[in-house]
């Protein structure tokens, strides 16, 4: 259900579009081959560049260690919301990739077979400062966006950590609580196991109440003006790293 990706987001004006969103196709980046290195680190092609791994088969097995006989989890492709299954690649060892996973607990990693994914480079990254209520987008070493945001309250805080954009949803009502677009992140609320029928996934989305931007207002999601989330959707691909700090 689409509510899963918006499962920890509070509506701007008290309304809710949970369950009425649909996945939307996002522009892909150029496919590349990850260097087959003897070391366990995938060296970025340039400063700020990351690797996005997009699943190929209908199910992807994720292993705790390279060469394990049984996977620790198997993830569906497409996802439950209909979009492609993507990972943020962390390290490489021969024909294996260590990836950040879109599962609890936050920060979980695992190893996938290189043959099960297509790898692309991504020059973008997002830095979120909760106390300053700022979201900054970098392309390589350049800052391409610096926007005010709404964040979680003291009782339902936005969790800090390293995540990535796992999906992009388009609410059926662009003037509703989540605005015209909602990015789902790989992270989850630390205090909400479920919300609005979802499992507490953290998102970045628009709002029907722009006066709340710049304040601690949500159940953990990041809130932007509709104009600013629309601008981000034009450039940020799935798999973009998102760093959230105090």
Residue 205 annotated among the catalytic residues of the structure: yes
Say how far apart CA 172 and CA 161 lie, in whole Å: 30
What tokens appear for 179 in the block? 């605005």
Q: Of residues 133, 138, 219, 221, which has the active-site annotation? A: 221
Residue 221 annotated among the catalytic residues of the structure: yes
What tokens appear for 10 in the block? 């509070």
Distances (CA, A) of 121 to 46, 76, 187, 238, 245: 10, 23, 22, 11, 24
Say how far apart CA 33 and CA 118 lie, in whole Å: 8
Q: Of residues 138, 205, 215, 243, which has the active-site annotation? A: 205
Distances (CA, A) of 43 to 32, 35, 85, 91, 168: 13, 8, 23, 9, 27
Q: Which residues are catalytic?
A: 205, 221
């Amino acid at each position: 259900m689409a509510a899963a990706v918006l499962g920890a987001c509070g509506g701007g004006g008290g309304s809710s579009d949970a369950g009425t969103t649909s996945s939307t196709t996002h522009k892909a980046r150029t496919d590349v081959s990850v260097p087959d290195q003897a070391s366990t680190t995938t060296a970025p092609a340039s400063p700020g560049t990351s690797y996005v791994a997009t699943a190929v088969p209908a199910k992807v097995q994720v292993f705790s260690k390279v060469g394990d006989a049984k996977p620790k989890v198997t993830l569906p492709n497409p996802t439950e919301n209909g979009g492609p299954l993507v990972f943020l690649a962390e390290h490489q060892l021969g024909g294996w990739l260590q990836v950040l996973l879109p599962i609890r607990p936050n920060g979980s990693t695992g190893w996938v077979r290189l043959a099960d994914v297509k790898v692309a480079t991504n020059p973008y990254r997002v830095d979120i400062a909760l106390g300053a209520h700022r979201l900054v987008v970098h392309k390589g070493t350049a800052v391409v966006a610096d926007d005010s945001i709404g964040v979680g309250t003291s009782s339902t805080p936005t969790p800090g950590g390293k995540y990535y954009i796992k999906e992009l949803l388009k609410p059926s009502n662009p003037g509703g609580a989540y605005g015209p677009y909602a990015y789902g992140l790989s992270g989850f609320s630390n205090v909400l196991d479920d919300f609005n029928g979802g499992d507490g996934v953290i998102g970045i989305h628009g709002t029907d109440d722009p006066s709340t931007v710049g304040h601690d207002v949500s159940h953990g999601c990041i809130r932007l003006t509709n104009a600013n989330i629309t601008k981000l959707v034009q450039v940020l691909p799935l798999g973009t790293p998102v760093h959230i700090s105090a």
